[in-house]
Amino acid sequence: MTLDQARKRHAELVREIRMHDHAYYVEARPKISDREYDRLFQELLDLERQFPELVTPDSPSQRVGGQPLEGFRRIRHRVPMLSLEKVRPADHPTRAEEPDDALRKQRQDQNTLNELRSWDLNLRKQLRLDRLEYVMEPKVDGVSISVHYEKGRFVLGVTRGDGTTGDDITANLRTIRSIPLALQIQDPPAHLEVRGEAYMALKDFEALNRQLESAGEEPFPNARNATAGTLKLLDPRLVAQRPLRAVFYGIGHCEGIEFRTHAEVLQSLRRFGLPTQPEWWLCRDMDHLLEIYRREVVADYREEKDLRARLPYEIDGVVIKVNDMTLWPRIPAKARAPGYAIVHKPIHWIEPAETVLKAITVQVGRTGVLTPVAELEPVFVQGSTISRATLHNEDEIRRKDIRIGDTVVIRKAGMVIPEVVEVVKSKRPAGTRPFDLFEHVGGRCPACGGPIAREPVSTGEGQEVAWRCQNVAGCPAQKVRRLEFFTQRKALDIEGIGGIVAEKLIESGLVDEPLDLFELKTEDLARLNLGTEEAPRVFGEKNARKVREALERARTLPLGRWLFALGIPNVGEVTAHDIASFHEDLESVARSPLLQGVVRLEELAREAEAVNPHSRKNPPRTEAERRRRTEQYEALRQEAERIGRELIEAGFARPAARSGEGGFPACVTKVGPVAARSVLEFFASPAGKRVLQRLKTLKIHPRGARTAVSGGPLAGKTLVLTGTLSSWTREEASELIRQAGGHVAGSVSKNTDYVVAGESPGSKLDKARALGVPVLDEAAFRKLLVEAGVLKDSAQTTGQRYGGGSAQPELF
């Protein structure tokens, strides 16, 4: 594709994606399927990876996250972010008294509702008013955020923090597609701070956990926790991969805009293109509010219909606010909470449920990890019937002493993935025994009967010990999970090969390993029986053709997607793309000197620690030993330093910013030693070698985002262009840098190696100076290009432009 074609396609993609973002996140009326959207977005990313000069600050791709941060800047809130008082919880009667469930709940709730009436009465007395209007809205169980728009442009995003000061999480919030980067206002106010909640929609949260689990990582206990954990990540690229959303319900510091009522705020935010809650009620007075509450919020205490079941996110109560904002300053506040608003939590919303643990089954994941699952006596909890719950792992079962036959307390962690909170010991039947996973599965993998062993596995939080099926190549459960992983969206995006289809493909023997898909005959796939022998249900012609098309598309996907799809342990999406951007193809990854360097550095650090002459744990005992160890240590240090320098030169590492960062010697590599080792081991293994061989036979050659030039002054360097150069357009200069093995970035950070400044440079130059980034003028830049071997020599090229098309005189 030429640059011109790329630019045109890029503009189209940007326009379409923006329109779909609004339709999906704000209007909640998507116009295309998630899959189609993802395809557009992926196309944009792939395009920008190839042509970095197309990246603009408000390209939707900028939501994919920028450089990792060292830490968050602290920001003081101009208007403090307060919390809310709860309606005083009244004593509620014990549960068993009322046989009718709905009536019992109503009676329990009545006490707190009476408190709400007296709150209203008090307020009216203080304000000397007969009647007060209220807005009632769901209390979102997410993480509070504050987002600042200056002249309609998103400029700052902050956490609540302690209410007075929060963390600057702008880079992370920019990745949330439901937060517009520009407001839809003709004449935007000088400043508008909006406040709301970041959250994960329940279905997205479930999918995230499934994905973490299938990657052998620890799932999050609930959606709120997942949201909070995600917003704290220092790498916005990771944040961008998590399905965060936001809703807004209020304002903070404003200039050039005023609101009279809270209802007006909610309506205006919506009009500005900000996501607000789909349901909220303006109530004439407290009687009216309680009427709506009974009908709409708790649905006469019949849980199937209550508000929680209608919303895509979790809520843990309703917030009631005085509508007239001009009254707010007249209502005395509590220590940390305003007087004009209050939270009410229906009692039955906080109740956990009890049920009996009938059995424990064991599931086998992609990497063979065995996960115990609780099979429960079905019980209705918070809107749906639960019959299974995760037990995480054997240690968790031991810690909680969960036994088959126990009565257990179930909570929907995140209201979707249920978990066993605790055992009701008093109800334990006689004859139960502590759970032992090995014994439970008869010492064999429940899917293939193969041997199992207890091994360290890496989870989201680090290492953990788990039982694992050792029959990596032959276990059908692992094969199914690998196939699902390979075809998932973020990998090769082959729609239609998930769940039952994957199972049947493996079961029928049509597919044994993911690459078999490419040799599968469309007819065979069409005939695949997804049902039973008695009641057959075939996959079908049309679906098979779709899979075929997706497979064709997959053949040319970039290296990063393929590297991820292979499901190499410890290689997540970001790592895969990082590695891909430094390599040409899978062969060069397989024998990568960069990855070998990373692994060697870690070995050297370990060896050095063992001989460290200053070790406190193991000091030298004799002078001779001290001398010998000093020498050994020095030799190791020198080797490490040399490797570190090479990695830094190649752009695959940076010098550590702080002492202690990056260990021995100080350098921080792009990819850590665990992932690097894992990749090299994979390609050295018979399975990895087979993959390389088969790809060759299949004529699939995934290419890196760029062809790396090894060596030369610009190889692996990151450059930023600012101002106008006399010899080349920005695109031409970018192309030259790429040819020299460098990257072009859109903005200056501490990871920038050079800023190239032409005529009338912009603020990037100031930033470069502030950060101490070396600045090149045109002559110096030209010299480096010549040294890098992409320009013949400076005399010949002065004043010439290469045409970008066929005539490129100065380019080799």
Residues at the contact surface with ligand IVH, assessed by CB under 6 A:
82-84, 137, 139-140, 144, 160, 197, 249-250, 319, 338, 341
As measured in angstroms, the least distance from the Cβ of 86 to ligand IVH is: 8
Q: Which is nearer to ligand IVH, 80 or 593 (CB)?
A: 80
Closest CA to 195 of 150, 137, 143, 138: 143
Please give the structure tokens belonging to residue 87.
């309606």
DSSP 130: S
Strand partners of residue 133: none
Q: What does the alpha-carbon distance between residue 135 and residue 267 come to, in Å, rounded to a whole number?
A: 12
Rg (CA), the chain: 30
Q: What does the alpha-carbon distance between residue 710 and residue 214 come to, in Å, rounded to a whole number?
A: 36
Q: Which is nearer to ligand IVH, 338 or 741 (CB)?
A: 338
Adjacency order of strands within the sheet including 244-255: 153-159, 143-150, 191-200, 244-255
The active-site residue out of 8, 125, 139, 617 is 139
Q: What secondary structure does DSSP assign to 792-806, as a single string?
A: S-HHHHTT----SSS
As measured in angstroms, the least distance from the Cβ of 319 to ligand IVH is: 4
Please give the structure tokens belonging to residue 66.
């920028």
Q: Where are the alpha helices (DSSP H) in 320-431?
A: 347-350, 394-400
- C-beta atoms surrounding 488 within 10 Å: 19
44, 10 contact by CB (below 8 A): yes
- Going 655 to 659 to 661 to 666, the CA torsion angle's sign is positive
Cβ burial 166-189 (10 Å sphere, 16+ → b, else e):
bbbbbbbbbbbbbbbbebebeebb
Kindly state the helix (H) or strand (E) to which residue 210 belongs, with its residue range: helix 202-214
Let me know the angle formed at the C-alpha of 731 by 728 and 736, rounded to the nearest 5 degrees. Answer: 70
Three-state secondary-structure class, residue 168: strand
- C-beta atoms surrounding 582 within 10 Å: 23
**Roughly how many angstroms between the first and final C-alpha of the chain, as a whole number?**
20
As measured in angstroms, the least distance from the Cβ of 106 to ligand IVH is: 24
Sort strands 143-150 and 134-140 into parallel, antiparallel or unpaired. unpaired
With a CB cutoff of 8 Å and minimum separation 6, the contacts of 299 are: 305, 306, 307
Q: Where are the alpha helices (DSSP H) in 272-384?
A: 286-292, 307-310, 347-350
Q: What does the alpha-carbon distance between residue 332 and residue 126 come to, in Å, rounded to a whole number?
A: 9
Closest CA to 240 of 495, 490, 491: 490
Q: What does the alpha-carbon distance between residue 415 and residue 522 come to, in Å, rounded to a whole number?
A: 41
As measured in angstroms, the least distance from the Cβ of 294 to ligand IVH is: 20
Q: Which is nearer to ligand IVH, 266 or 601 (CB)?
A: 266
As measured in angstroms, the least distance from the Cβ of 758 to ligand IVH is: 47
Q: Which is nearer to ligand IVH, 48 or 137 (CB)?
A: 137
Kindly state the helix (H) or strand (E) to which residue 194 belongs, with its residue range: strand 191-200
Task: Break the chain down into helix, strand, coil percent, rounded to 5.
Answer: 40, 20, 40
As measured in angstroms, the least distance from the Cβ of 178 to ligand IVH is: 15
- C-beta atoms surrounding 93 within 10 Å: 11
φ, ψ for residue 168 (rounded to 5)? -75, 105
Q: Which is nearer to ligand IVH, 146 or 458 (CB)?
A: 146
Q: Catalytic site residue 232?
A: no
With a CB cutoff of 8 Å and minimum separation 6, the contacts of 220 are: 205, 208, 209, 212, 226, 229, 414, 460
As measured in angstroms, the least distance from the Cβ of 363 to ligand IVH is: 35
Q: Which is nearer to ligand IVH, 113 or 140 (CB)?
A: 140
Q: Which is nearer to ligand IVH, 198 or 423 (CB)?
A: 198
Q: What does the alpha-carbon distance between residue 466 and residue 391 come to, in Å, rounded to a whole number?
A: 13
Cis, bond preceding 372 (omega within 30 deg of 0): no
Q: Which is nearer to ligand IVH, 149 or 249 (CB)?
A: 249
As measured in angstroms, the least distance from the Cβ of 265 to ligand IVH is: 11
Q: Which is nearer to ligand IVH, 199 or 582 (CB)?
A: 199
Please give the structure tokens belonging to residue 88.
């005083």
As measured in angstroms, the least distance from the Cβ of 262 to ligand IVH is: 9
As measured in angstroms, the least distance from the Cβ of 338 to ligand IVH is: 5
Q: Which is nearer to ligand IVH, 335 or 795 (CB)?
A: 335
As measured in angstroms, the least distance from the Cβ of 165 to ligand IVH is: 15
Q: Which is nearer to ligand IVH, 178 or 612 (CB)?
A: 178
Q: Which residue is nearest to ligand IVH (CB)?
A: 144
Q: What does the alpha-carbon distance between residue 179 and residue 532 come to, in Å, rounded to a whole number?
A: 47
As measured in angstroms, the least distance from the Cβ of 122 to ligand IVH is: 18
Q: What does the alpha-carbon distance between residue 604 and residue 600 come to, in Å, rounded to a whole number?
A: 6
Q: What does the alpha-carbon distance between residue 214 and residue 482 come to, in Å, rounded to a whole number?
A: 9
As measured in angstroms, the least distance from the Cβ of 277 to ligand IVH is: 7
Q: What does the alpha-carbon distance between residue 338 and residue 83 come to, in Å, rounded to a whole number?
A: 8
Active-site residue set: 139
